[in-house]
Amino acid sequence: MTSIDSLLTETRRFAPSPEFAAGAVAGRELSERAAADRLAYWADRARELHWHTPFQSVLDWSNPPFAKWFADGKLNVAYNCLDRHVLAGDGDRIAIHWEGEPGDSRSLSYAELTTQVKRAANALAALGIRQGDRVAIYLPVVPEAVVAMLAVARLGAIHSVVFGGFSAESLRARVEDADAKLVITADGGYRKGKVFPLKATVDAALEGTTSVQHVLVVKRGGNEVAWTEGRDIWWDDALEAADLDHEAQGFEAENPLFILYTSGTTGKPKGILHSSGGYLTQAAATHHDVFDLHPETDVYWCTADIGWVTGHSYVVYGPLANGATQLLYEGTPDTPHPGRWWELIEKYGVTILYTAPTAIRSFMKLGRQIPQGFDLSSLRLLGSVGEPINPEAWIWYREVIGAGTTPIVDTWWQTETGAIMISALPGITTLKPGSAQVPIPGVKIDILTDDGARVDPPNGGLLTVREPWPSMARGIWGDPDRFVETYWEKFRDLGWRYFAGDGAHVDEDGDIWLLGRIDDVMNVSGHRLSTTEIESALVGNPMVAEAAVVGAADETTGQAVVAFVIVKQSHRAEHSDEEFSELLRAHVTTAIGAIARPRQVFIVTELPKTRSGKIMRRLLRDVAEGRAIGDTTTLADTSVMQVISDKLAAGA
């Protein structure tokens, strides 16, 4: 995690070039309009979309923290992403250049994508999907994933995309929590040169569940699949049988668009719920302004998987609402060779690249000669998201990938915020490596002390949002109380401020520097993982008595999962420590998914606890990061840490 000391010594500054500034789509007038009348500003941005029924009401905040935006208006999200562009004469523009990991590729124009989505919407309707029904999507990054999301949206139904790397157990929990009626999956997908099975995982996840009536299966991997007659249907067969025509109906702006599960501080993932009109307004406006989108000429590439919120807002909804041409890539950056991304940028002439610091750091490790072997001169703007980007990675990104000239936008936001909240605007902001910088026009950010006092620059505190914003979450699926408690209770008395869970520092210029999570949520390669969730997976293993998990600083992934485990006495003699570690790393992979697999599992005999029984993860983090152990005076047994660090030292 970024340390504040190294940040404060960062003094490099990069003003936009006069050429970039002259051609930029977003200038100072946006902030001026937003400052003059925030609600009128957002209403104007919403009116850039197509409304079946125009709205009169802009914001209804009569029942905080549950906001309603543009509530008396009606729109169709898929129509805005598709038909609208075709009707405007842009049907021939490429919406998606898709490249599979093995090198197969397909390009879909807006007209073709629209036809596909219409067919898919008819196919889903034929399976009984109606407004408000939940559809789980468990797919690799293939065009059908985008088609499936938009088809669900077109019907006013709600999608819940589950990242293809999640285990059967994780998928099952999400399907059950949302009571999904339909699951859309594939036989398998390509990853690191191999086909990984998805359908088999879905079969395991659905054993004994009752809500799911059908499973639609996209053919991708060509691998063998088991088939449940009456339940399973090939995607191609369903689409072939479906009508080509589908008229998009307008739905209320507050009609839910999707649920996306994210890790919280407790074991159970939260189903973050997003609406249609407000969400699409901010996703589209920020995608346009922050990425300086010129839809006629740009080729945009966001490398996120559609299973994460970045894939929702900046692969599917923002870019398609703006009529962008984009690249979609199925595989990993290093397959079949470590220059694969750079090869794709050269092949498609990518002009805007949006990726995560963890990817940049792993490319840094491989060395600049790999990207330097390709022609990256088409790139004119770079973006970063998912975790703080350390200044050295920022500079490398600009120098090596951006030819020392491209602006870099470091965008801070969350699953809960729905869209970008803090970022430079590339035509006007003088960039500071390591700082996400300023709230976007129409968003109000305050850094507060724990008691709610505003922090004066230069100082650090808690990141909060002062006023409701269009793409804010509308709640946690099935658990409104948890929504209030998690994000709003802390500063409720200050008039319902949103508490993001991140620490931040504000400098003399008012620029914001993100300092990482202040709760028990880890950030591994830009993915949020809960310590509690992994701990409960570990103690779910019959050999384990107790477990504590911490996020330790890691050069490549930002943070890495490190677990401390006490094995039950009755199992102690069965394996060596090394064997226990390996077994438990595999256990977490099965329980949650490979992204949660601990970098290390240390077998210990005790865990450091306070007198009230709270595990002191801070101390374990010290050990995991090889630091001197901090203050142990509140421990019930102050000798515990010595025993643990002696043990680790002996093993190392």
Angle in degrees, CA 182, 184, 185, rounded to 5: 140
CB-nearer residue toward ligand 6R9: 356 or 641: 356
76 binds ligand 6R9 (CB under 6 A): no
- For residues 55 and 37, what is the distance between their CA atoms, to the nearest angstrom? 17
3-state helix, strand and coil shares in percent for the chain, rounded to the nearest 5 = 35, 25, 40
Nearest distance from C-beta of residue 25 to ligand 6R9, angstroms: 21
Nearest distance from C-beta of residue 33 to ligand 6R9, angstroms: 25
520 binds ligand 6R9 (CB under 6 A): no
- Bond from prior residue into 140 cis (ω within 30 degrees of 0): no
- For residues 500 and 488, what is the distance between their CA atoms, to the nearest angstrom? 9
CB-nearer residue toward ligand 6R9: 129 or 436: 436
CB-nearer residue toward ligand 6R9: 275 or 415: 415
CB-nearer residue toward ligand 6R9: 264 or 608: 264
Q: How many CB atoms lie within 10 A of CB 33?
A: 16
434 binds ligand 6R9 (CB under 6 A): no
Q: Give me 200's structure tokens.
A: 């088999």
CB-nearer residue toward ligand 6R9: 235 or 412: 412
- For residues 378 and 393, what is the distance between their CA atoms, to the nearest angstrom? 21
Q: Which of 410, 446, 467, 622 binds ligand 6R9 (CB under 6 A)?
A: 410
364 burial via Cβ count (<10 Å: 0-12, 13-18, 19+): middle
Nearest distance from C-beta of residue 9 to ligand 6R9, angstroms: 19
CB-nearer residue toward ligand 6R9: 510 or 626: 510
Q: Give me 347's structure tokens.
A: 């092949």
554 binds ligand 6R9 (CB under 6 A): no
Q: Is 412 annotated among the ligand-binding residues?
A: yes
Q: Which of 501, 551, 593, 598 binds ligand 6R9 (CB under 6 A)?
A: 501
Nearest distance from C-beta of residue 387 to ligand 6R9, angstroms: 5
Q: Select from 159-167, 339-347, 498-506, 606-614 the region that touches ligand 6R9 (CB under 6 A).
A: 498-506
C-beta separation of 43 from 50 below 8 A: no
Amino acid, single-letter form, for residue 7:
L
Q: Is 413 annotated among the ligand-binding residues?
A: yes
Q: Is 539 annotated among the ligand-binding residues?
A: yes
Q: How many CB atoms lie within 10 A of CB 281?
A: 30
Q: Which of 276, 415, 429, 559 binds ligand 6R9 (CB under 6 A)?
A: 415
Tokens 């905040």 identify what position?
A: 61
Nearest distance from C-beta of residue 416 to ligand 6R9, angstroms: 7
> Which pairs from 107-114 meet CB under 8 Å and 24+ separation?
108/143, 110/82, 110/85, 110/86, 110/323, 111/86, 113/82, 113/143, 113/146, 113/147, 113/150, 114/82, 114/83, 114/86
Q: Give me 105's structure tokens.
A: 């590729």
Binding mask 300-319 for ligand 6R9 (x = CB under 6 A): --------xxx---------
361-390 residues near ligand 6R9, rule: CB under 6 A: 385-388
Q: Which of 118, 528, 587, 609 binds ligand 6R9 (CB under 6 A)?
A: 528
Binding mask 259-298 for ligand 6R9 (x = CB under 6 A): ---x------------------------------------
SS (H, E, C) 332-376: CCCCCCCCHHHHHHHHHCCCEEEECHHHHHHHHHHCCCCHHHCCC
- For residues 533 and 170, what is the distance between their CA atoms, to the nearest angstrom? 11
Q: Would you list which residues are annotated within the binding site for ATP?
A: 386-388, 410-415, 502, 517, 528
Q: Would you list which residues are annotated within the binding site?
A: 191-194, 310, 386-388, 410-415, 502, 517, 525, 528, 539, 544
Which residues of this chain interact with ligand 6R9, rule CB under 6 A? 262, 308-310, 385-388, 410-415, 436, 500-502, 514, 517, 523, 526, 528
Q: Would you list which residues are annotated within the binding site for CoA?
A: 191-194, 310, 525
Q: Would you list which residues are annotated within the binding site for Mg(2+)?
A: 539, 544
